[in-house]
Structure 1
Amino acid sequence: MPWKKNFINYALLAAIALAFTAFQWSEEDFIQFISNKLSKYRGAIPVEKAYLHLDKPYYATGDTLWFKAYLTEGALHLADSASNLLYVDLIEQRSGKNAILKRVQMIGGIGHGEIVLADSIAPGAYTIRAYTNWMRNAPEDFFFQKNVYVFNYEQNTSANTTTGKIDLQFFPEGGQLVTDINTRVAFKAVNEAGLAQDVAGFVLAQSGDTVASFKSEHLGMGRFQFAPKAGESYRAFVKESNGNVTPFAFPKVYDTGFTMVVDNLSNPLKMRVIAYAKVPGKTEIPVHVVGHARGIVAFVAKGKIGSRGLMMQLPTAELPDGITHLTLFDDTGKPVSERLVFINHFRSLNVHVKPSKTEYKPREKVDLEIAVTDSAGKPVAADLSLSVTDAGQILQQPFEQNIVSYLLLSSDLKGIIEQPAYYFDPARSDRKIHLDYLMMTHGWTRFKWEDVLRDSIPPIKRYVEQGITLEGDAKRNNKRLTEKTALSLFLSNDSLSNFMTSETDENGHFIIYNLAFSDSLQLRIQGMNKKGNQSLSFALNPFDAPRASMVKIPFKPVTVDAQRLADFLKNAAQDQEISRKIRENRERLLKEVTIKAKKEVPRDSRKLYSSADASLKVTPQMASGYTSILDMLQGRVAGVSIMGSGMNAVVSIRGNRGEPLFVLDGMPVDKALITSLNVFDVESIDVLKGPSAAIYGSRGGNGVISVLTKRGNENYDYSQDIVPGVLVTKIAGFHIPREFYSPQYGPASPPAPNPDFRSTVFWAPMLKTGSDGKARVSYYHSDATSPADIRVEALSPGGLPGFGKSAYSVR
């Protein structure tokens, strides 16, 4: 039976009813009650999930990070979600600053793009995130987040291996410990970096007796049997390597309550649920068990917990792949115990990658065939993304996240899920029990049952975006408006011209939704059909990026082989040097002119210095899409590092700890004034480093950034001034993806003069399989003689994810 929306598995209910006469299914009204409540909640707050496939796990400064974006709805993972705009940003973990932001247009739930890691970007650990505006209504834990590392060319492989303080938490199965009821307790230990830490220890009663011992089995996780006694309290202790012991809090023991034990491992076709209760004055307690997967009800059951508990065996064949959430409701309809179980019928797509040969020569043409089938072996049409990397430079991470592990597992859990693909590897015999530990130590927290049952819908603060949103405020004589005001807007670029009208609210706030355009648009906005239009002023609100949590101790979130890293950095540096020389040659070619006379160049009175170390001439095309001078300067001048954006940007020149001196038309000013300037009013930006800045004395010790405005120039044409009551500016649109450059080395092609040691050999983000379930692609290998790693990720329109990998050797 297929898994569909609003599906109640009555066949499953009937099968269990026949198997257990002591267990009766609930009346139709309760089934409908629970289903309606969940359906209403899910309809009011539907879930979106974003996923990024990156070309490789780590990068070097000057490199390009390539990504394919997938956007699905949250329950069935259908590929076409409501939002058409996906935000992709890069966060520096050390400071929590937003280094780069891209707006990616999603068509049919897919999109792609790249992030250029300019030389000025600081090396270190970063987090790349992907989210829609609608996703911001939920906690940021449910954004797609992936750790990457950016190396510089001098960096070694040493890393901070100190674990620091350990955080150890215990999780009684079902939620709580109840006196005289034997149950299981899971635990998880992490270090200060939030990564798994293996531990061993014991539990002591008040009397000092050892009542249990524990030892982690997988990534700091494990579990043990525990039978709490009435009137007792307990403490846990961890044995350190030096022989010391560290105390940790242990869960409280309750005199009354419910427990639920689930066995999802013994039988591949059934799971066993055992419930116990201890309630004064009650020997038999009617209860319900509700199972749902991602908010869609799978079954509702009713039984009675007696003195010996209640046992059920639930068939799992018809449950969907992924996390099923079990909740025990007492006789008052209150949720009293919860447990997550993971169902894996291997219904994901099978992705087979087959090179035409097992071995190639350097620069030889490589032909790949990708075949996608479902679990029954039938061909499937799907969207694909393909990455080929040089295994001599890039070490693929152990059990790294892929689209299957993310959609079915990580996206519905809070916290860091380490090595998520491990739990989907059939070759790992212990993966099922380790996955059960994970289910006991992580919670599914997209909603609370109390909110669902009371129809308590959280307020919606963010809306679905199907295009770019233009938002701002209008004032009259710098005062807030007191009435609605009609506005006219004219938007244009090289290929588009459109006139539209809008209206402010009573306070002057206005919002224009769903503008669909790439790159940038020129905007002209003014009041309409009202007196006093010339006294209006307009301010556009910049994008307010969600905050990022800072990592207390920066760490390398990647596993790096020393030799691979050395080769990777060597080749990356060589590639950057070749690119630099090519640029220099082009510059010299442009400057080769015959000078017959010396031209007098009038000195600009705004400059104390005779020449700058770097000068940036600002053109309208260059300023397009930027709201701040510092945003525009970012990545354009070597040695200038700018982290963050707008007024929150942190600026440094040549690694100086302090910020440079800011000068506006010859006068020292603060950074706030510089960031508030309209980029289209700027004529040029000069950067002074080291000795060049000495003319400004000690104030220039950290360098100087000199901004020269058009109006500050004595030759400025004042006819260019903006008309009062009119705002003319440019607004940023969807990111225009670049095409991955793949050299052509055919027999007839002349030999390339430069060495080719690409770390990403080939990147194809927008592949599709045909009706036969196959896609074919060709490219030329690099000069490397090391093996090539191939990674393919896939998603069908019906929401089935897939992952495949392959390799070939080069000699």
Structure 2
Amino acid sequence: MLRATRLDSLSQVLHVDLLSPDKKVVARRTLRLQGGRASGDLDIADTLGAGTYVLRAYTNWMRNAGDSFVYSRRLSIWPASPLGPQEPSAPATGTPSKSKSSAANKPDVQFFPEGGYLVEGMPGVVACKATDASGRGLAVRGQILNAQNAVVVPNFSSRHAGMGRFSFVPGAGQRYRARLMLPDGSTAEYPLPAVQPTGYTLHVVENAENFLVEARYRGAAGTPAPGPVQLLTQVRGVVAYPGPRSLTADAPASWKMPKKNYPNGIVHFTLFDAEGTPRCERLAFVQNGPSALRITVTADQPSYGAHAPVQLTVRVADAAGQPVATNLSVAVSDAGLSALDPNAETIASNLLLTSDLVGYVENPGYYFREQSAATAQALDDLLLTQGWRRFVWKEVLAGQKPLVRYVPEQEVSLTGQVVSAQGSRPIPNSQLTFLQMKPVKNVATATTDAEGRFTFSGFAVRDTAVITLQARRSQGGSNVIIRPDNGPVPGVQPLPKLPSLAAAPAGVAALCAAAARPRPPTWSCIPRRPCATSN
């Protein structure tokens, strides 16, 4: 079951950008939306350097929720010819170059206690995530030591994409650290989060039919029991409030939550104390079997010639075989490209998983390829480490709404800022001249506001508009710079290097090899001159 979606009826303009490996916008399309839909394309020039790029799409109104809510997807662009510009290849994931400084390339390893906290004397689960500088997972293994160098967890290791977990009971007044063996054979130590003397913990395990939830509490000596606690669960607005439970230092509270009561997707478990304050949170995933829709596609011919028309009959039925009205997206590709990246993002992985998580999720399609114990464990590790971005309880309970800085766009506009030649000081009252040559000729003027900002809108746009802007100071000087808006600020995390062609999917390697293969000569004759060949 996918998330119920509605077409955007608020905004009339969609922005689509292609960002280069150094986070520069190298291609952009501004599209008019009609009923929430738009058609467009991005032309990839043959002079574009190979590397890892980011495709992002957003409306102006979406930016009020934060730049992390902008849709983005990483794209690998390989050179179509060995003569084309190439980005230096990186070693395969998990095998960083030993020639670089180990200190400068120390992996990022973070630890996440289940529910949010480690509490003295209470069993806890700690998830870990190890990544390189570009966010790709790294395989690590190691042990957990206390302040006296005693080993409390003798051995643990990451599983899929550098993520894993371990369990232990933290002692009073202790601090813990992990001693890890890194992919290049070196060792490094990383601190674990501090242990709390008092507090709540939340533990979730699952079986085929239920989530089993357990809450524990440890208070200061001589303090009374905290009173009943309440568990709230929700999946995209489907909320379940099981009954409150009493909770003492000696008796944990527990709940059994049937999976069948939820739609597929991330389920958010939140523990509230007797005063209604959120104390612990935990994410899990509901996957109630395969899709109930049965889709069959039948071609009108067994095979086709070049440029022959193709007619497909699509039938969609439910589990009982009854017809179902649906909206479908269809993509057609060369048969050799069908398995380019089986772990890449899909519509299902985006709607059900990555759109609700913070940061980059590596190979999201992996979690939906098959339902197995290993995949379920890897997915749970992801949810223990990756975080939640849709809302924060403190803001919700305080009635705090996002600051509205961007208005819904009803027409294509050109916005930006005029600054000093040094690029640091806004120029108010700057006089701008707008010259449009295509698709129609148009001239307009405007004046910047106190922050040096300007907006031009209402001009004709059909496919491509050719526009020239000129700006002068109010006194007539021209030593100014025009900075058009470039959309959301890209994240600070560097993009991964493009893997070598040998590590690319087989379909990519075959296409690049075909593109690099010498073409047959073509012949052209010019009257009264000898014939010449060109490759």
> TM-score, normalized by length of structure 1?
0.53
1:258 corresponds to? 200
Distance of 1:402 and 1:447 partners within structure 2: 24
CA deviations on 1:481-534 (whole Å, 9 max, x unpaired) are 59xx9x99999976x899999998788966466767423568999xxxxxxx9x
CA deviations on 1:527-578 (whole Å, 9 max, x unpaired) are xxxxxx9x99999862323332452652339985586445312433569x79
- Structure 1 stretch displaced more, 157-166 or 440-449: 157-166
1:143 corresponds to? 70
Say which SS state the counterpart of residue 5 (structure 2) adopts. coil
How many angstroms does 1:325 deviate by? Answer: 1.4
Q: Is the 8 A contact 2:438 2:464 kept in 1?
A: yes
2:146 to 205, 218, 221: 205
Distance of 1:193 and 1:354 partners within structure 2: 40
Change (3 A) 1:352 1:573: farther
1:312 to 228, 238, 255: 255
2:133 corresponds to? 192
1:421 lines up with 2:365 in the alignment: yes
2:157 corresponds to? 215
Q: Is the 8 A contact 2:177 2:191 kept in 1?
A: yes
1:292 corresponds to? 234
CA deviations on 1:290-319 (whole Å, 9 max, x unpaired) are 223346644475332122111111233232
Distance of 1:503 and 1:99 partners within structure 2: 28
For 1:11-410, list aligned pairs within 5 A. Answer: 76-80=4-8, 82-93=10-21, 95-152=22-79, 153-154=81-82, 159-161=90-92, 162-163=95-96, 165-212=106-153, 213-240=155-182, 245-263=187-205, 265-268=206-209, 270-280=210-220, 281-294=223-236, 297-299=239-241, 301-306=243-248, 307-346=250-289, 348=291, 350=293, 352=295, 354=297, 356=299, 360=303, 363=306, 368-374=312-318, 377=321, 378-391=323-336, 395-410=339-354
1:555 lines up with 2:498 in the alignment: yes
1:458 lines up with 2:385 in the alignment: no
Distance of 2:332 and 2:503 partners within structure 1: 19
Distance of 2:496 and 2:20 partners within structure 1: 12
CA deviations on 1:688-727 (whole Å, 9 max, x unpaired) are xxxxxxxxxxxxxxxxxxxxxxxxxxxxxxxxxxxxxxxx
Q: Is the 8 A contact 1:287 1:331 kept in 2?
A: yes
Change (3 A) 1:371 1:422: farther
Distance of 1:404 and 1:458 partners within structure 2: 28
Change (3 A) 1:294 1:539: farther
Distance of 2:261 and 2:213 partners within structure 1: 17
1:438 to 378, 382, 394: 382
For 1:690-729, list aligned pairs within 5 A. Answer: none
1:801 corresponds to? none
Letter matched to residue 215 of structure 1: S
Distance of 1:252 and 1:338 partners within structure 2: 18
Q: Is the 8 A contact 1:256 1:278 kept in 2?
A: yes
Q: Is the 8 A contact 1:149 1:558 kept in 2?
A: no
Distance of 1:375 and 1:413 partners within structure 2: 31
Say which SS state the counterpart of residue 451 (structure 1) adopts. helix
CA deviations on 1:263-314 (whole Å, 9 max, x unpaired) are 2x2142x322111111220224222222233466444753321221111112
1:571 corresponds to? 514
Letter matched to residue 275 of structure 1: A
For 1:622-771, list aligned pairs within 5 A. Answer: none
CA deviations on 1:389-412 (whole Å, 9 max, x unpaired) are 241x67511322111111110111
How many angstroms does 1:248 deviate by? Answer: 1.5
Distance of 2:8 and 2:289 partners within structure 1: 23
Letter matched to residue 117 of structure 1: I
How many angstroms does 1:174 deviate by? Answer: 0.3
Distance of 1:259 and 1:247 partners within structure 2: 26
CA deviations on 1:177-214 (whole Å, 9 max, x unpaired) are 00111121222222233211222211112233221131
Letter matched to residue 261 of structure 1: H
Q: Is the 8 A contact 1:471 1:540 kept in 2?
A: no
Change (3 A) 1:82 1:345: farther
Change (3 A) 1:456 1:523: same
Distance of 1:506 and 1:462 partners within structure 2: 18
Letter matched to residue 342 of structure 2: P
Letter matched to residue 178 of structure 2: A
Distance of 1:145 and 1:361 partners within structure 2: 36
Change (3 A) 1:454 1:479: closer
Q: Is the 8 A contact 1:77 1:407 kept in 2?
A: no
Say which SS state the counterpart of residue 143 (structure 2) adopts. strand
Q: Is the 8 A contact 2:502 2:509 kept in 1?
A: no
How many angstroms does 1:337 deviate by? Answer: 0.6
Distance of 1:510 and 1:552 partners within structure 2: 32
Say which SS state the counterpart of residue 332 (structure 2) adopts. strand
Letter matched to residue 498 of structure 2: F
CA RMSD of the aligned region, Å? 4.4
2:102 corresponds to? none
| Percent of matched pairs sharing the same residue | 30
Say which SS state the counterpart of residue 111 (structure 1) adopts. coil
Letter matched to residue 130 of structure 1: A
Change (3 A) 1:115 1:557: farther
Say which SS state the counterpart of residue 365 (structure 2) adopts. helix
Letter matched to residue 375 of structure 2: R
Q: Is the 8 A contact 2:265 2:353 kept in 1?
A: yes
Q: Which runs of 5+ in 2 are unaligned?
A: 97-104, 419-425, 529-535
Change (3 A) 1:497 1:190: closer
Distance of 2:286 and 2:448 partners within structure 1: 51
Distance of 1:516 and 1:407 partners within structure 2: 35
Distance of 1:509 and 1:400 partners within structure 2: 40
For 1:468-617, list aligned pairs within 5 A. Answer: 468-471=412-415, 480=428, 511=455, 517-520=461-464, 542-548=484-490, 549=492, 551=494, 554-556=497-499, 560=503, 564-573=507-516
Letter matched to residue 150 of structure 2: D
Q: Is the 8 A contact 1:148 1:558 kept in 2?
A: no
Letter matched to residue 271 of structure 2: L
Change (3 A) 1:126 1:506: closer
Distance of 1:508 and 1:194 partners within structure 2: 37
Distance of 2:54 and 2:415 partners within structure 1: 28
Say which SS state the counterpart of residue 340 (structure 2) adopts. coil
Letter matched to residue 324 of structure 2: P
Task: Report which structure shows greater RCO (CA 8 Å, sep ≥6).
Answer: 1
Letter matched to residue 82 of structure 1: L
1:449 corresponds to? 393
Q: How many residues are paired up?
A: 497
Choose 1 or 2 for highest CA Rg. 1
